Amino acid sequence: MSKIGLIALIFMYLGILFLIAFFAEKNKGSKLVTHPAVYALSLAVYCSAWTYYGSVGMAARTGVEFLTIYLGPIIAAPLWIIILKKIIQLSKVYNVSSIADFISLRYGNSRSLGALVTIVCAVSIIPYISLQLKAISETFEIVSTSTLGIEGSSVITDSTFYIAIILAVFASFFGTLSLDASKQRAGVMFSVAAESVLKLTFFLIVGIYVTYYVFNGTSDLYQQASLNLDLNQLSTINGLSGGINWYFSLALSFLAIFLLPRQFQTSVVEFNNRKQLKTSIWLFPLYLLLFNLFVIFIAWGGLLILGKDINADYFTLLIPLHFGDHWLAIIVFLGGLSAVISMVVVSTVALSTMLSNNLIIPYGFIKTLTKRKSLNNEKIIKNIRRVSVFCSIILAYLLYALFNPEISLFSIGLISFLIIVQLAPSFFIGMFWNRGSALGAKAGIVIGMLIVVFTYLLPFFTENIFSNNQFVANGLFGITALKPYALFGIELLNPVNHALYWSLLLNTGAYLILSVIKKGNYRERNYGEMFVNTSKAVELKENAYVWKGEAYVEDIQNILVRFLGQSKADKALRVFRKRYAVNPEDRLADARFINFSERLLTGAVGSASAKILISNVAKEKPVSLVEVLHILEENRETISVNKSLEAQSQKLIKLASELKSANEELKIQDQLKDDFLDTVAHELKTPITSIKASSEVLTEGNDMPEELQQRFLSNIIQDTERLNVLINDILDLEKMASGRDELTLEYQSLNSCIEDAINGIRSIAGRKNIQVEFNAKKKVFTEFDYSKMLQVFTNLLSNAIKFVPENYGIISVSLEENSEEISCKVIDNGKGIPEEDIQLIFKKFYQSKNQTFKKPIGSGFGLAICKQIVEMHKGKIYAESNLTTGAEMNLKLPKQNT
């Protein structure tokens, strides 16, 4: 393809990326953009051009060692998730926007530490970015066929320069949409995820092409390779020293996955929901595995086809070109471009945040920003970030222009790792050891960096750029113990791992020793506590940091307005007041408000600047260590007190609802009682009315025939008897209910009791033509109170009589026993009991509305009395009903073994 055509294609491709990012920003909340897979795929920004081209080169030169860079994260995925969770929790609570912010915050908002970390990141990343640009330029030259037209010799005519500028525009636009740098950047992340899909797909295509199209599958490739190549060197670990090297390389890549600014950006800053971690725990390792599936085969294929003298980094392009498949080379080129773009964009976004929030603003602009007449600093802060983006990329471009083209992608990548890993001790140990101090962290990082320079960078440049072996061969000043690749005689490790070993050892040592020797100030200790006890800190939020001093709400409010804008500051204030129920009239700010404001400012200007801003208007008093621990404890106590209060109030609520339902039950009972009294009154009045009427008739009626007089008199007697029964019933029930009644127990036949009861109602039944049957296979003996049980059976039977139809009524009583209980049933063919009444009928005062018989003889407590009696016998009575066949009363008595 011609250069112009290729350039057109590249710009079209970049245009599409802009559109994708726009789409994602517009549809921020949509399912697609917030899908957990997007997060997992954005983590694959880890696979830069170094992976895309460099790992093939590495595999061709040194064999399987390239795998360590990917195996590290894969092997450690479970641990990675656990630690990441902690980092994410802390970062979200304190609005952390970069790794520099994270470390600076851990060591008490240390401004100098934040700046140091930023510098380390910049030193690590900018050469890395230039490496990516180099990859674009080189692959561009390979893929473009015509040598006519533009030549990549000067900046003005170099297409890479323009690509770099476009990336800078992209990163500065989509990376700084929100002032709060800890907020998510949906557009950038979505386009990165899309690019991750593209680069993997294209890489797999070329892998399949080489393995199955150029060769006949993996076994064919292996056979040819084993005949023509030194496979022993290319596919084994190489003994003990190789093993140790593997170990260190794995460790290196494991640490880098946390510390690389672009990884921190994608995994922590852009994190926004829990599902994302669940998906990435399998998707991300799977992605890395897939990416490495064909690396070794492409490397072998390239060696077999093109030989050892060709730059193996670009086998993926050169093999298709060798066979005349230009289209495939272009596809591979676009995949590489994707890898570069995502890496450069994310890295510069991360770097620009650090540069602005941890270096430029706290050291250069903080005074200007606070003293400016204009109240809105948002524009300035955003512009600082944008300029940082451009500066980083341009700096990287200049480095690229100066780079020796002979340096392989892989070694520059490793340098980047080596530098960034110097943050590991202060980063990791600081999260689990509360005594780590800012001084220790700074010293460790500086010493580690010096070691890296001495044991790797210096010899690397003397060798590769000045082609001078003197320094490596003889050591510094000719002292063999100071040979850069074999410090103090350790020769087992390859240069990278050797540098890693010494730098990390001394870095960690310095960190630990200085932290122990010289305690950090109260601020460091307080944040140390918070970082170590993450869950407590997350729980306590604004209460976690112990602040003592004096500040005015108004002053702090002014700062918030200045740095967040009027509307955001107002909103934040409202949120705060609502959360803590703070009186808006309070003029003095409390610790919570100080911490809350500092958190907000951290998102905008970084933790160090946030602290400076607050301390400008607030007189903070030093807090002693004991106090820090004490107040933290106290806070925890307050929380536990709050929790127990909450539990208490839950209990009270429960109790109240219980009382309410009890009250309702009482109301129902009360209503039932009212109804009962009405019934009783009615029942008492009916016979009295009759007695009164009959007596009046008798007194007036001198001329009444004797026969009639007799009938009125007998009516009076009948009614007085009825009154008597009624009153006895009430008294019975009352006596049993209050437990004053005792049973006269006797061991006797239940059959005869039932028979007596049936005989008692036989005359009434006979009059109404109701059939009463009694079925018992044998005589059942047990201990019971005869007269009371007779009352029960009589009651059940007379109830049944009330409900069965005249002339067709059938009442059948059955009695049987088993080893455990005696069971008696009274079944009728009456109207049955409505479902809703089944439970109610045994309550006192209940009268069914369904009676066909003229008047209830009893008056509403027949069944209640039955229930009392049966329960006194330790038995139970219940009803079953079927409105089509009638009612069935069940009576169970326990079997006594006497």
Q: Which residues bind another protein (CB under 8 A)?
A: 678, 681-682, 685-694, 696-697, 700-701, 708, 711-712, 715, 718-719, 851-855
Question: Least separation, in Å, of the C-beta of 682 and another protein?
Answer: 4
Question: Least separation, in Å, of the C-beta of 851 and another protein?
Answer: 6
Amino acid found at 778: K
Q: Which two tokens stand for residue 612?
A: 């400076």
Grouping H, G, I as helix, E, B as strand and the rest as coil, residue 763 is helix
Closer Cβ to another protein, 294 or 712, answer by number: 712
Closer Cβ to another protein, 96 or 833, answer by number: 833
User: Are 353 and 117 within 8 A, CB to CB?
Assistant: no
d(CA 242, CA 494): 9
Question: Least separation, in Å, of the C-beta of 753 and another protein?
Answer: 31
Question: Least separation, in Å, of the C-beta of 858 and another protein?
Answer: 15
Closer Cβ to another protein, 653 or 708, answer by number: 708
Question: Least separation, in Å, of the C-beta of 695 and another protein?
Answer: 9
d(CA 767, CA 479): 132
d(CA 83, CA 430): 12
Closer Cβ to another protein, 683 or 785, answer by number: 683
* C-alpha distances out from residue 670 to 211, 564, 673, 677, Å: 90, 65, 5, 10
Closer Cβ to another protein, 665 or 721, answer by number: 721
- Buried b / exposed e over 198-237, threshold 16 CB at 10 Å, is bbbebbebbbebbbeebbeeeeebbebbeeebeeeebbee
Question: Least separation, in Å, of the C-beta of 657 and another protein?
Answer: 33
Closer Cβ to another protein, 65 or 719, answer by number: 719
The DSSP annotation for 651-713 comes to HHHHHHHHHHHHHHHHHHHHHHHHHHHHHHHHHHHHHHHHHHHHHHHHHH-TT--HHHHHHHH
Grouping H, G, I as helix, E, B as strand and the rest as coil, residue 797 is helix
- Buried b / exposed e over 879-898, threshold 16 CB at 10 Å, is bebeeeebbbbebbbeeeee
Closer Cβ to another protein, 512 or 693, answer by number: 693
Question: Least separation, in Å, of the C-beta of 718 and another protein?
Answer: 7
Look at residues 457, 453, 394, 424 and name the one whose alpha carbon lies nearest to residue 126: 394
Question: Least separation, in Å, of the C-beta of 728 and another protein?
Answer: 20
Contact residues for 796 (Cβ-Cβ < 8 A; gap 6+): 826, 866, 889, 891
Please compute, for residue 558, the number of CA atoms within 13 A of its CA located in the half-sphere on the CB side: 15
Closer Cβ to another protein, 458 or 693, answer by number: 693
Q: Please list the alpha-helical segments (H only) found in 144-176.
A: 159-175
Distance in Å from the first CA to the final CA of the chain: 109
Closer Cβ to another protein, 562 or 722, answer by number: 722
User: Are 364 and 94 within 8 A, CB to CB?
Assistant: no
Number of helical (H) and strand (E) elements in the chain, helices listed first: 39, 9
Q: Which two tokens stand for residue 685?
A: 């009045």
Closer Cβ to another protein, 178 or 695, answer by number: 695
Closer Cβ to another protein, 82 or 681, answer by number: 681
* C-alpha distances out from residue 438 to 508, 513, 855, Å: 13, 12, 96
Question: Least separation, in Å, of the C-beta of 774 and another protein?
Answer: 29
Block residue for tokens 């057109």: 8
Closer Cβ to another protein, 558 or 850, answer by number: 850
Grouping H, G, I as helix, E, B as strand and the rest as coil, residue 890 is strand
Question: Least separation, in Å, of the C-beta of 850 and another protein?
Answer: 10
The DSSP annotation for 203-271 comes to HHHHHHIIIIIISSHHHHHHHHHHHHS-HHHHHS--HHHHHHHHHHHHHHHHHHHHHSHHHHIIIIIT-
Closer Cβ to another protein, 281 or 693, answer by number: 693
Q: Is 268 exposed, middle or buried (0-12, 13-18, 19+ CB in 10 A)?
A: buried
Phi, psi of 811 (to 5 degrees): -120, 125
Question: Least separation, in Å, of the C-beta of 684 and another protein?
Answer: 8
Instruction: Give strand pairing partners of 619.
Output: 550
d(CA 792, CA 40): 76
User: Are 263 and 46 within 8 A, CB to CB?
Assistant: yes
Question: Least separation, in Å, of the C-beta of 670 and another protein?
Answer: 16
d(CA 358, CA 366): 11
Question: Least separation, in Å, of the C-beta of 691 and another protein?
Answer: 8
Question: Least separation, in Å, of the C-beta of 803 and another protein?
Answer: 12
Closer Cβ to another protein, 309 or 700, answer by number: 700
Closer Cβ to another protein, 633 or 696, answer by number: 696
Question: Least separation, in Å, of the C-beta of 837 and another protein?
Answer: 17
Closer Cβ to another protein, 640 or 689, answer by number: 689
Question: Least separation, in Å, of the C-beta of 698 and another protein?
Answer: 9
